[in-house]
Amino acid sequence: MSFTGEQVNTYGPEPSRLFFMDATMAGLPVDVLHVFVGPSATMRVKACSLVPMVNASGPVMDRAETVTLFNDLCVLAPAALIDAPITWQPVDAHHIRALFTNGAHTVTAELIFNDDNDLVDFVSDDRLRASLDGKKLTPLRWSTPVCDYRIIGSRRVSIKGEARWNAPDPEGEFAYLEFNLDEITYNKGTGLTDSTPDEHGASASSRQATASS
């Protein structure tokens, strides 16, 4: 299904991630809202904005969303990595291991770069795949290959990417989401300009299409 997503992230002592998705499934409108403020995350899915389909929360969800928050930081607001609570462990010229801490959770990811020093993939074993009803979360290797870097405003960012699960056979590795970034704004509402290197927040909108779930 195709959908439009809008997202607002902030980074600092209490980071947050707010993501709203407007989609259509089997001819019915479906709303998805992820809210991650401080150490707590929730996911709500409603059909026709009325009928609850998913209502997920708890420590496992908090840990999974910590990975997503870190991924957004690396892909959408890399200048904010300077002040983020991260421990870096260099591997080689194209790989670095990073430990990101938010509240009670520390998650690990491997960042992969090309010869131009562009981030091309983010791989973590600390994110969990939700069941269709959101009641069961299974740990799986998760990655977000990105490409097609462009200048948007004063920033150079990737505008295309995927989210992938490395599931056991017979599924194997597959992309369950493809995204195209339409617009991104930095330091929104902070009084800072888009060209200010100290990125405290990012607001992004994108047209996205899921291949599977």
Question: Tokens 């009803």 correspond to what residue?
Answer: 133
Q: Give the pairing type, strands 2-10 and 201-209.
A: antiparallel
Q: Residue 195: which pLDDT band, with cuts at 50, 70 and 90?
A: very low
158/160 Cα distance (integer angstroms): 6
DSSP reduced 3-state for 35: strand
Amino acid at 74: C
- Whether residue 202 contacts residue 185, with contact meaning beta carbons closer than 8 Å, is answered with yes
CB of 135 closer than 8 Å to CB of 64: no
Assigned token pair, 40? 């707590």
The pLDDT value recorded for residue 158 is 94
The answer to whether 134 and 55 have CB atoms below 8 angstroms apart is yes
pTM of the predicted protein model: 0.83
pLDDT at 197: 38
The token duo for 198 is 């100290």
Tokens 């998650």, residue?
A: 107
User: What does the mean pLDDT of the chain come to?
Assistant: 85
Q: How confident is the model at residue 125 (pLDDT cuts 50, 70, 90)?
A: very high
Outline where DSSP puts E strands in 71-200.
86-92, 95-102, 105-113, 119-124, 128-130, 137-139, 141-143, 146-152, 155-166, 173-186
Alpha helices in the chain (DSSP H): 59-76
Phi, psi dihedral angles at 114 (to 5 degrees): -95, -175
Which whole number is the average pLDDT over 81-110? 95
Q: Where in the sequence is the domain holding 158, given as residue range(s)?
A: 2-209
Query: How many CA atoms, within 13 angstroms, populate the side-chain half-sphere of residue 153?
Result: 15
Number of structural domains, the chain?
1
Q: How do residues 18-72 score in pLDDT, each as one tens digit?
A: 999 888 888 888 899 999 998 889 888 888 878 888 888 888 889 989 999 999 9
Q: Looking at residue 167, what DSSP letter applies?
A: P
Higher pLDDT: 164 or 29? It is 164
Q: What is the pLDDT of residues 136-150, one digit of tens each?
A: 778 899 999 999 999
**What span, in angstroms and rounded, lies between the C-alpha atoms of 90 and 200?**
26
* Cα(10)–Cα(132) distance, integer angstroms: 29
Task: Tokens for 178, please give them.
Answer: 């493809």
